[in-house]
Amino acid sequence: MVTDVQQAITILKKGGIVIFPTDTAFGIGCRIDDTNAVDRLFEIRKRPRIQATPVLVSSIRQALPYLDSPSDIVRHLMKTYWPGGLTIIAPCKKNTIYSPIRGGGDTVGIRMPDHSDILTVITAVGVPILGPSANLHKEKTPYSLEDLDPVLTRQVDYVLRGTCKEKTVSTVVDCTVDPYRIIRQGVVVLPKKPVTLYIDSSNMHETTVAVSVDNEKKETKFVSDDHTSQHVLPLIESLLLKNNLTFQDISAVEVHTGPGSFTGLRVGAAVGNVLGWLLDVPVNRKKTPVTKLDYGNDHWEMIRQ
């Protein structure tokens, strides 16, 4: 017996157009590499070909070949918020994406939805699929089967039934600028600006950590007659909590690398590198790139990325 999901897979593989549920809203799509299907999709939706349309992927690995040198922040946002309701606009490899999909430009809006059915479909099709809302251009976004326009459903090859758990639009973030710019606020709430964590444990009796929030630096310190570097992590946790942030909001780490206390610098660098590795964010990207520590012969040194 052929399931609804299998039917959708078969139709998309053959170049058909399918309406489907995602975590946010109902979408309409075809495979990214079938130009005839893409042309038909734009015609059905009455969408101008100079207006780009979002692309859905089933994994970060599937997205990367279409992007042109994805930045640290793009990779960070993917790892932190995918699968989920975040559409990331980033520079793309123009030769891999048909012009109307990118609106004739050199960027693409790409997302990994948090919906098991459509992820299964995309994985089985083997390539990304287009994923605009299943509506006629400028009409109401559908969040349920009942919201779908009969004029539209009559023109597609299949409607995959299901539900949308969020029932709201995705957040759209433009990562072609630094800092990134939120174009549309949707289900995912991002910090208005990327958050950089600063660590300074160079002073034996004073440890300072800070975060940049909306271009404003907010810091906290721990002062003691004893060595204070052991308090780096508690200070970070306290500062994030005070500013309604989590570790996942951190997009970069900057560590003071000296001069200063040998032990303090060593602890600060170790904490910064571990956080960079766990969060998959750059460490000291505006200085000498730092990603690893060598503890050989009772000393440490920074190793270039």
CATH, residue 13: 3.90.870.10
Q: Is it true that the peptide bond before 191 is cis, omega within 30 degrees of 0?
A: no
* Same domain as 260, residue 136: no
Domain stops at, among 184, 214, 237: 184
First to last CA, the chain: 53
What is the count of structural domains for the chain?
2
Residues 128 and 27 in one domain: yes
- Rounded distance between C-alpha atoms, residue 36 and residue 54, angstroms: 17
Does residue 264 fall inside a structural domain? yes
Same domain, 20 and 146: yes
Per-residue CA distances from 302 to 202, 257, 261, 264, 266 (Å): 15, 9, 16, 15, 10
Q: How confident is the model at residue 39 (pLDDT cuts 50, 70, 90)?
A: very high
Q: Tell me, yes or no, whether 170 and 65 share the same domain.
A: yes
pLDDT tens for each residue of 180-208:
888 999 999 887 677 889 999 888 788 89
Q: Are residues 63 and 132 in the same domain?
A: yes
Sign of CA dihedral 85, 91, 92, 95: positive
Structural domain boundaries enclosing 139: 4-184
Is 249 strand, coil or helix? helix
Residue ending a domain, among 128, 152, 184, is 184
Query: What percentage of residues in the chain have a pLDDT greater than 90?
Result: 61
Residue 277, domain CATH: 3.30.420.40
Q: Could you read off the pLDDT of 244-298 as tens digits, one per residue?
A: 888 888 888 999 988 888 888 888 899 999 998 888 888 987 543 333 333 232 3
Domain boundary, last residue among 158, 184, 210: 184
Indicate the SS3 state at residue 110. strand
Regarding whether 135 and 245 lie in a shared domain, the answer is no
Q: Using alpha carbons, select from 268, 281, 282 the residue that is nearest to residue 210.
A: 268
**Is residue 145 located within the same domain as residue 176?**
yes
pLDDT reported for residue 260: 85
Contact in structure between 144 and 123 (CB atoms under 8 Å): no
Per-residue pLDDT tens for 163-180?
Answer: 999 999 999 999 998 778
**Cβ atoms of residues 87 and 171 within 8 Å:** yes
Q: Is residue 69 part of a domain?
A: yes
174 and 200 housed in the same domain: no
Statement to judge: residues 212 and 138 lie in one domain: no
Structural domain includes residue 189: no
Same domain, 19 and 146: yes
Considering the domain architecture, whether residues 213 and 299 belong to the same structural domain is answered as yes
Q: What angle do CA 196, 238, 267 make, to 5 degrees?
A: 65
**pTM exceeding the 0.85 threshold for the entire prediction:** no
Residues 6+ apart with CB under 8 A from 254: 196, 197, 198, 199, 272, 283, 284, 286, 287
